[in-house]
Structure 1
Amino acid sequence: MPCALCGDIIPREVVRCPHCGAWARRRDFRAVGVAVFLLLGFNAFIALGSGISLLRAGGPLRGETHDTYDPVNTGRVLAPYADVFVVCAVLAGMTGLLYLGWLWRAHRQSPGPHRHHRVWVVFGWVCPVVNLWVPPRVVYDVWVNSGRYRTTERQVAGAVVAGWWTFLLSGALLARLFAVADVETLADARFDVHLGVAAAACQALAAAFCMVTVFQITRLQLLRGD
């Protein structure tokens, strides 16, 4: 298999790469981390593009009046964006599966101490109510335990994780509100557009903050293995 760092071929019976010295057992972890990072970037790109497109689609509403406003035509224009958010949710779910596999291994490789057992890497996302706060705590523990962080650095890591989780929940909620909102009046249509743009922005920011956590944890754990 090729080395994840330099690309040189590493025989399976060899522990370290003969060219760059990287640990062979960590090459797959780095490859998965890179894949998750790229998928998150794609998620952010799609969400950002959707928000910009929706903002441009809602531009004509600024020149509308109550007399000229057509709710049927506006509903027809905005309806596809609800489907776009569904596609974004499916893509995020696919990315999340790979992310959980990466986080499971990252949790195992971080020395600890951890506030939650490794099973909560998975169960923390599927258990009702608990999934509102356990996932970011797990990610934070894995991050700060993967390196030697001072208090200020731990606070920065906590702020990044909190930002990721806040934007993720906000984006999901706003996307749902956008899908069920009506456009019977001009004010409703303008508000619906604002909801959609805010949902897309939150989703893009959530993906960007998550990219930071994936990059930092992967980098720290690779450095520990060298």
Structure 2
Amino acid sequence: MPCALCGDIIPDEVARCPACGAWARRRDFRAVGVAVFMLLGFNAFIALGSGISLLRLSVPLHAATHDTFDPAATSRSLLPYTEVFVICGLLAGLTGLLYLAWLWRAYRQSPGPHRYHRSWVVLGWLCPVVNLWLPPRLVYDVWVNSGRYRTAERQAAGAVVAAWWGCLLTGLAAARLFAGAHADSLAEARYDVHLGVAAAAFLALAAAFCMVTVFQVTRLQVLRDA
């Protein structure tokens, strides 16, 4: 395996790089964490840009009247944003695969004790109903077990994880409603635009809060191994 720091080949039976002395596992885990962090930032950037663009579209709708409103033109203007949310979903899916690989390793490396078996790191996202409440518990479990936290710090970590999960579920629900909405009247068009802005904002916030969890867990585990 090549060293993530200097590029030299590290034999499988050796824990340190023979050239620079870096811990192979620690460097590799940090590289995965950085990759997930950057992809989450890209997700947040796309969602934020979509929300700002939708806000600009809402300006002429607020100035329009029932006589000047054109349903066909408004529907054509909103259609690309539905496709943008689909692209955001595909990108989030790719990010989620790498995130699962990172979370699996972070869960294995955290000292514990853990409330759930490691298999739930994957199954918790796939099982219906369970995937509505178990993933944030797993992330919180990994976070607080990766370092030494006081009660107030544990509560702060729990608040960040809860904010991430709440924004994610709200953003997904709003994006789903936006995709199935219609702009047959002026009131419906204004509602659709506001719904799209809310979906973009919540998805951007969810990506930002998730970036915090990835950064903190990766930092704590890399420093502990060092």
TM-score between the two structures when normalised by the length of structure 2: 0.95
The within-5 A match list for 1:1-226 is: 3-4=3-4, 7-13=5-11, 14-17=14-17, 21-226=21-226
Among all aligned residue pairs of Structure 1 and Structure 2, give the percentage whose two residues are the same amino acid.
74
Structure 2 CA distance, aligned partners of 1:165 and 1:21? Answer: 39
Partner Cα distance (2:179, 2:9) in 1: 52
Shift of 1:12: 1.3
CA deviation after TM superposition for structure 1 residue 35, in Å: 0.4
How many Å separate the matches in 2 of 1:214 and 1:2? Answer: 24
Given that 1:10 and 1:24 are in contact with CA atoms closer than 8 Å, whether structure 2 keeps it comes out as no
Q: List gaps (5 residues or longer) in structure 2.
A: none
Aligned length: 224
RMSD: 1.4
Instruction: Report if aligned partners of 1:43, 1:92 keep a CA contact under 8 Å in 2.
Output: yes
Indicate the larger mover: 124-133 or 18-27.
18-27
Aligned-pair distance for 1:127? 0.3
Could you report, residue by residue, the CA deviation over 1:43-93 in whole angstroms, capped at 9, with x for unpaired residues?
000000011111112221011001111111100100110110000000000
Cα distance in 1, alignment partners of residues 26 and 192 from structure 2: 47
Corresponding residue SS for 1:58:
helix
- Give, as a single letter, the amino acid of the residue that structure 2 aligns with 1:92: A
Which runs of 5 or more residues in structure 1 are unaligned? none
- CA separation in 2, counterparts of 1:203 and 1:192? 16
Bigger mean CA offset, 167-176 vs 13-22: 13-22
Task: Give the match's secondary structure for 2:76.
Answer: helix
Moved over 6 A (4+): none
TM-score (structure 1 length as normaliser) = 0.95
